[in-house]
Amino acid sequence: MNIELNAHQIDAVRKMKNGCILVGDVGSGKSRTSLAYYVKDCPDRDLYIITTAKKRDSKEWEDEALPFKIKRKVVVDSWNNIKKYKDVYGAFFIFDEQRVVGSGAWVKAFLNIARKNRWILLSATPGDKWEDYIPVFVANGFYKNKTEFNRVHCVFSRFAKYPKIEKYLDESMLLKHKADISIPLPVDRHTHPQHLYLRFNYDKVLYKTVWKDRWDPYDDEPIEETGKLFYLLRKVANDNDSRYDFVRRAAESHTRIIIFYNFSYELHRLREVAQELGIEYGEWNGEVHSEVPSSERWFYLVQYSAGCEGWNCITTNCMIFFSQSYSYRMTKQAEGRIDRMNTPFDELYYYHLSSAAPIDLAIARALKQKRSFNENTYLKVKRR
């Protein structure tokens, strides 16, 4: 077996243990490192890999595993099917792209599997808050269940309409648990990411109509739901001609561009820009799953929630975030699609498009603080 690991990966394999989280940036080589650990720790067990649907379908894990010449059964499936494996016993599980947050069906299946098998987690962003670590802490035996965790560490607000944690107790113990199971995987990158934050115009009068008057200027009707209010605020901020003009200018400097977007109206106009310029385009969203184009000039239009992870591209060094994601994790995952160890590019260009609209400024603040934007919290602050 001729497997090349760098010094950081070798050190991580040495430190890894059952129930750990291998924490490394996107493109740091977590897959190869986890397979090396499996071969070292328990090659006599069947291997199950739970990953994203895109990684499963692209056979990325099978390609990574090939040089290791694994002799046991290897099963690669998506998180959507994790319940199929809750009765597997005595195997080794690699849980790729951390999904065990909360207390839903995936978490229940994960805890069931963790009790009967050896396992590790891979993640670039393991958790934004302590609640995100509860399933992993329980699986490691630090707590019997979520109820015990809450009793020991959580003080809940007496005035919230739903269970809301006001503060944590004994955080030193939580930090100890986190350090005990977190195995860092640093990487010496040759890439130099250039993040350019660009601010564009927005219609202040239209924005005021939506925010102050609670009126939908597009359908000419009152706004009755919070979800629609934020959708319209973002549409006023995002759907501005100046942003699309920038995409046209960017296509003059960069021949291949990955563009992340949120909403269908953005996708429709970005398609029109590509057609107008005579540029081939591919898409990855909830309905279309085309591959990255292979021509000399292209756009790859990717919806955040559908395509922020599970694939990579080393044929371009340019990415445009046409509108901001609410999620810090999704943003970091998206950035990693081109920041790979094997990319031939040294300079990577990330264009972050936003406006001076209050909603855009609030989202940007949250992302800068490495947290996700919350609509309900924003409303409460504005009402004070």
Ordered DSSP codes for 284-314: ESSS-BPPPP-SSSEEEEEEHHHHSSS----
Alpha carbon dihedral 338, 343, 347, 351, in 10-degree steps, equals -10
| 7-184: CATH architecture | 3-Layer(aba) Sandwich (3.40)
Distance CA 141, CA 160 (A): 31
From the first residue on, what is the mean pLDDT of each consecutive set of 10 residues in the chain (384 residues)? 80 94 84 94 94 85 91 93 94 84 80 95 80 90 92 82 79 93 87 95 96 94 94 96 96 97 97 97 92 95 90 94 93 91 93 96 93 87 70
The sign of the torsion formed by the CA atoms of 127, 132, 137, 142 equals: positive
192-383 matches 7-184 in CATH topology:
yes
The phi and psi torsions of 158 (rounded to 5 degrees) equal: -85, -10
Q: Is 69 left (phi over 0), alpha (psi -120 to 50) or beta?
A: left
pTM of the model: 0.75
Confidence (pLDDT) at 103? 65
Give one DSSP letter per residue of 137-173, joined into a string: HHHTTSSSSHHHHHHHHEEE-SS-SS--EEEES-HHH
Helix axes 226-238, 375-383, angle to 10 degrees: 90
Contact 173, 10 (CB under 8 A): no
Confidence (pLDDT) at 119? 96
Class of the domain covering 192-383: alpha beta
Residue keyed to tokens 């986190």: 178
Distance CA 71, CA 64 (A): 14
Confidence (pLDDT) at 354? 96
Contact 96, 50 (CB under 8 A): yes
What does the domain layout of the chain look like in residue ranges?
7-184, 192-383
- Comparing CA positions, the residue from 10, 66, 71, 81 lying closest to residue 44 is 71
Distance CA 121, CA 59 (A): 19
Give the three-state DSSP class for 344. coil
Residue keyed to tokens 């499963």: 56
Confidence (pLDDT) at 384? 59
Pair of tokens at residue 271: 């398609």
Confidence (pLDDT) at 123? 86
Contact 116, 88 (CB under 8 A): yes
Report the run of H or E that residue 40 belongs to, with start and end.
helix 30-41
Confidence (pLDDT) at 311? 85
Report the run of H or E that residue 350 belongs to, with start and end.
strand 347-355
Confidence (pLDDT) at 367? 93
- Comparing CA positions, the residue from 342, 312, 12, 311 lying closest to residue 189 is 342
In the chain, at which residue ranges do the beta strands (DSSP E only) sit? 21-23, 47-51, 74-78, 92-96, 118-123, 154-156, 165-168, 182-184, 192-200, 215-216, 221-222, 256-261, 280-284, 298-303, 318-321, 347-355
